DNA sequence: GTTACTTTCGGAACACGTTCCGAAATGTTT
DNA sequence: AAACATTTCGGAACGTGTTCCGAAAGTAAC
């Protein structure tokens, strides 16, 4: 946009890009959980309130960070057939998210719509376009993407949650809870028992994805 | 548990059940978004800090509330074939969550494992047991449940998010963002455009579920 | 009755995200 | 120069979830 409008008023002391950059610095130095708006403002040498003139929300900032991460991820070479393209793009999307330690936190910030930032849309589009190619009409194509998206985010969240459960103390609690189930009332779960937790920790994304895509397109 | 241990020390002024009941009262009276720990303690006539001796966390309280809701939901009559059983139980689980206006908030509180409270397990078990019946071994049966769970929660979250987007002002933002897409870079999304938002608002859970289950068991 | 022990209670304080609203800094007009 | 319009800045304050740690209230032993 080469529009240089009248440019009236006090000039901004900070840009959105600077904020994102400072946030990344802060995260790399002190860790994700120490990223607060106050600390971020201090890092930039501005008042905390000022952040709100550049970013709607803490959540909006997180989405900017997520998109910033997606900007550095490349879509791999894709197969020709639609199904293969969907699988490859989904796996790339999954890996991009899984390599981001704080993805779980951001992904649960606001559901699943606004989350799709500018750069992530490349991945989204590949999947939607492939579903269209495979003969789906508009609404079903979007539905295909959504199912894949749920599965992708879900598997990441479950694994993150499983890690947190292991780190805190209450993994024994949960396993004990499973073990204490009444086999008459919940025979299936009683059969599985503590292995539930074990399974949740295992990354079986690719297999599940292939089955899912086959079902969606089949 | 008829164990009556020595019972030493100061007797509790409140029980977990009373806390949950008070929370429900508060929600019914003032709305979900006004449920805070301070107000809850005030409702009970106890100090805010005291809540923490009965409940680990705000999140733990939400999970108790969710389970309390599931305790009032009945599993419908189920077909004989495993696939039909899975579909029916999943739909019941979905309806139970969808009828809970604050489900989205709770479901994103902590991922997907601890979330499965005591009463909800009836639904979980029905699905897992049916997958076992359909010939799946332990780990795949759990994987089947997880895929269904992701889809169920995801569709609820998307619809909740879509409603919030409509309520706030930034639906136009997002639609405009979609409309502004470069058709060369994202041809699929450019084709779909603003209808994305429209589709997200539509409840197509049953159709999607049937396709999903067919894929998972096929 | 006194002491010791165990458990629950809750006031005070902290950091957080967020909002109100007035101050500050610029471009434009007179 | 001066007044105005427009935009950004940020201090103060609110309500939130959460933790520290000492006070309170009971039971058991002496």
Write the pLDDT tens digit of every residue in A7-47. 577 777 788 999 999 999 999 999 888 999 999 999 999 99
* Domain co-membership, B90 together with B33: no
Q: Which domain holds residue B24?
A: 16-55
CATH of the domain at A191: 1.10.357.10
Q: Strand, helix or coil at A113? A: coil
Question: Rounded to whole angstroms, how far apart are CA atoms B210 and B61?
Answer: 33
Q: Give residue B15's pLDDT.
A: 85
Write the pLDDT tens digit of every residue in B87-97. 999 999 999 99
* Domain co-membership, A35 together with A92: no
In a domain, A201, yes or no: yes
Bigger pLDDT: A193 vs A139 = A139
In a domain, B71, yes or no: no
pLDDT at B187 over 80: yes
The model's pTM is: 0.89
In a domain, B132, yes or no: yes
Write the pLDDT tens digit of every residue in A112-160. 545 567 788 899 999 999 999 999 999 999 999 999 999 998 898 888 8
Mean pLDDT over each residue of chain B, to the nearest integer = 86
Instruction: Note whether B158 contacts A111, CB cutoff 8 Å.
Output: yes
* Domain co-membership, B152 together with B202: yes
* Domain co-membership, A145 together with A109: yes
pLDDT at B23 over 50: yes
Total count of domains within chain B = 2
Which nucleotide has its C1' atom closest to residue A10's CA?
A: C26
In a domain, A76, yes or no: no
Residue length, chain B? 218
Q: How far is the CA of B161 from the C1' of C23 (A)?
A: 38
Q: How far is the CA of B19 from the C1' of C11 (A)?
A: 21
Chain B residues whose beta carbon lies within 8 Å of the beta carbon of residue A128: 188-189, 192
* Domain co-membership, A28 together with A88: no
In a domain, A3, yes or no: no
* Domain co-membership, B131 together with B181: yes
Which nucleotide has its C1' atom closest to residue A41's CA?
A: D10
Backbone angles phi, psi at B168, to 5 degrees: -70, 180
In a domain, B107, yes or no: yes
Chain A residues whose beta carbon lies within 8 Å of the beta carbon of residue B215: 211-212, 214-216, 218
Q: Give residue B136's pLDDT.
A: 95
CA separation (Å) from A113 to A7, A69, B43, B160, B190? 33, 18, 37, 10, 16
Instruction: Note whether A143 contacts B108, CB cutoff 8 Å.
Output: no
**Per-position DSSP letters for A45-111, written without gaps between them:** TS-GGGGGGT-S-HHHHHHHHHHHHHTT--PPP--SSHHHHHHHHHHHHHHHHHTSTTHHHHHTTS-
């Amino acid at each position: 946009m080469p529009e240089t409008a009248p440019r009236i008023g006090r000039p901004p002391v900070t840009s959105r890009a600077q904020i994102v950059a400072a946030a990344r610095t802060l995260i790399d130095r002190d860790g994700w959980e120490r990223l607060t708006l106050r600390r971020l403002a201090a890092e930039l040498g501005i008042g905390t309130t000022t952040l709100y003139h550049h970013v709607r929300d803490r959540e909006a900032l997180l989405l900017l960070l997520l998109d910033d991460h997606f900007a550095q991820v490349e879509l791999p070479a894709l197969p020709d057939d639609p199904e293969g393209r969907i699988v490859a793009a989904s796996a790339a999307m999954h890996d991009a998210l899984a390599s981001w330690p704080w993805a779980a936190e951001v992904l649960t910030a606001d559901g699943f719509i606004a989350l799709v930032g500018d750069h992530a849309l490349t991945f989204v589009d590949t999947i939607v376009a492939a579903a269209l190619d495979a003969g789906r009409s508009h609404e079903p194509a979007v539905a295909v993407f959504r199912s894949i998206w749920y599965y992708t985010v879900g598997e990441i969240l479950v694994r993150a949650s499983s890690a947190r459960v292991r780190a805190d103390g209450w993994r024994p609690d949960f396993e004990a809870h499973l073990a204490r189930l009444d086999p008459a009332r919940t025979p299936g779960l009683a059969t599985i028992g503590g292995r539930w937790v074990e399974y949740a920790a295992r990354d079986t994304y690719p297999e599940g994805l292939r089955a899912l895509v086959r079902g969606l397109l089949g």
